[in-house]
Structure 1
């Protein structure tokens, strides 16, 4: 078997998990400039590390951000998302209070919703065919 650098191993699991996350600002307000995105990337990278995850890619526009996160099988994705949004909101509101107050109110930076799409090397149809082609034993 060829070793894959992306495949990680734990005591009871082997995994290669990645998720594409998209977070949108509350009311899609155009809040971010380049310096805000740089601060967000730093905070979100730190949160990911705290969860044993890796922020592999990060970018965004003035009203949303995209993250590509590699994560272990032991991480609950909803808890990671809640922490990413909560910590980043708190830190950004502390660091850029005057700037954010003109766009947002009620202490909310992010919309409650988010997008999460799992990603991987093989497409869904490839995986589906692989599973279909397994050699199921004949009934006894």
Structure 2
């Protein structure tokens, strides 16, 4: 669209269903490439992607040509199918419902890239649930404790 200028940086955080550690180091980079290809298909730009066996952090430059909810729905559906088709896990793979999305200014991006790159080190000190609740609090997002990424009974 002519005369439309934006600078939108979004970190999306999403978890494996029941927060089971299913993302294996032998194929996680392939998964990150696949997720990146979905993001790029819609002309958004992946700035950093990394995670742990039970969750993913995705930082992207986001274009206002698509609803974030639509992108996340497609990303999660397509990547689940991709994982299941390749037989990477013995059970059916699925992402947990919902996600967190947090916006950042340009001057925060380098620090955030380092943070996402260093997920393994970070999680030696802090568990995922504490990390996620901290993100919600830092961004002053009201939330219901019942719907935080917990195991589904």
Same fold, judged at TM 0.5 (above): yes
SS in 2 for 1:75: coil
**Residue of structure 1 equivalent to 2:30:** 39
Deviation at 1:119, TM superposition (A): 1.2
**Residue of structure 1 equivalent to 2:39:** 48
Q: Is the 8 A contact 2:36 2:46 kept in 1?
A: yes
Aligned to 1:13, which of 4, 15, 34?
A: 4
Deviation at 1:122, TM superposition (A): 6.2
Paired with 1:45 and 1:27, the residues of 2 have a C-alpha distance of 24
**Aligned residues: CA RMSD:** 1.7
Paired with 2:26 and 2:85, the residues of 1 have a C-alpha distance of 14
**TM-score of the aligned structures, taking structure 2 as reference length:** 0.65
Q: Is the 8 A contact 1:30 1:62 kept in 2?
A: yes
**Residue of structure 1 equivalent to 2:83:** 92
Q: Deviation digits for residues 97-137 of structure 1, max 9, x if unmatched?
A: 2x4234xx4xx5100111111111368xxxxxxxxxxxxxx
When Rg is computed on C-alpha atoms for both structures, the one with the higher figure is: 1
**TM-score of the aligned structures, taking structure 1 as reference length:** 0.71
Matches within 5 A, 1:53-92: 53-92=44-83
Deviation at 1:36, TM superposition (A): 2.6
Q: Deviation digits for residues 64-105 of structure 1, max 9, x if unmatched?
A: 01000111122211111111111111111111x2x4234xx4
Structure 2 runs not aligned, ≥5 long: 109-153
Q: Number of residue pairs matched?
A: 108
SS in 1 for 2:98: strand
Greater strand share, 1 or 2?
1
Structure 1 runs not aligned, ≥5 long: 1-9, 124-140
Greater helix share, 1 or 2?
2
Aligned to 2:98, which of 109, 113, 120?
A: 113
